[in-house]
Structure 1
Amino acid sequence: MKAALQAYVDGFNAGDPAVVVALFADDATIEDPVGNPPITGRDAIAEFYANNVASGAKLSLDAPIRGSHGNAAAMAFTVEMPNMRIRVIDVMTFGDDGKISTMRAHWGPADIES
């Protein structure tokens, strides 16, 4: 799980959304931020990451990636964009196949700096 999350960061920062999308199960869901309607399915997830990578955003880890003894892992990171910074914690669950089944991004207005 930790290796998958590192691949997520590396693929995103390399500007390759296909690398990120390949980490997700076909029926995965994304809730970004938590409380928004979920983004479901490979096509919607591909569009989500293509748009985010195209924005010029880059990710930097704020602490080591954390894994559990179960099926979840989390990472605290900062999204750097041209005119803003967002502090985020992503919690992801994984299926038996090692693919991400859910991604929940924890951030809100107080976590945005301009």
Structure 2
Amino acid sequence: MAADRDQVLETIQSYVDLVGKGTADDILALYAEGATVEDPVGTEVRTTRESIREFYAAIEPLEQESRLVSARVAGNEAAFQFELITRVGEQTYTLAPIDVMTFDDAAKITTMRAFWSNADMDISG
């Protein structure tokens, strides 16, 4: 049985919220065993829970806020855009990546690919 659309949307919203204010362990809990992360697309794919946790631990101490912009769900797959605002001293970095994810039947993330590059980042301050 495929994950329910509402469950997938709930996982996406939790993911966006946790990237802004959560811990690496909170985010990792959204992932299924054996999941992969490619962020951004074109970089090395993280294939272990330890490497995925390490990836999110790097952003954990940052002052950030996030919000979901839009999401489209098709079966056990989804594409969504969210905005991530990071403040470092007097500088503000704004990025709106498009993430593409697949989900297992329990709406846990099985793959995550983030589409963005440095050219997409707005820096102010």
TM-score tier by shorter-chain length is 0.7 to 0.9
Sequence identity percentage = 40
Are 2:97 and 1:92 equivalent residues in the alignment? no
Point out the structure with max Rg over C-alpha.
Answer: 2
- Per the alignment, residue 109 of structure 1 pairs with 118
Superposition pairs for residues 61-72 of structure 1, below 5 Å?
A: 61-63=68-70, 65-68=71-74, 70-72=75-77
* 8 A Cα contact 2:37 2:111, kept in partner: yes
Contact 2:17 2:67 in 1 (8 A): no
RMSD: 1.5
Runs of 5+ consecutive residues of structure 2 not aligned to the other structure: 1-7
1:106 CA drift (Å): 0.5
How far does the alpha carbon of each residue in 1:58-85 deviate from its partner, in whole angstroms, 9 at most, with x for none? 222223x2211x2111211111111311
Is 1:75 aligned with 2:83?
Answer: no
**Alignment length, in residue pairs?**
112
Structure 2: distance between partners of 1:108 and 1:28: 23
Counterpart amino acid of residue 73 in structure 2? G
Answer yes or no: is the 8 Å Cα contact 1:95–1:101 preserved in 2.
Answer: yes
Contact 1:25 1:42 in 2 (8 A): no
Query: In the TM superposition, what is the alpha-carbon distance from 1:51 to its structure 2 partner?
Result: 1.1
Determine the structure 2 residue equivalent to 1:46.
53
2:4 paired residue number: none
Structure 2 residue 59 is matched with structure 1 residue 20: no
Q: Which runs of 5+ in 1 are unaligned?
A: none
TM-score with structure 1 setting the length: 0.87
Give the SS at the match of 1:39: coil
Matched to 2:77, the amino acid is A
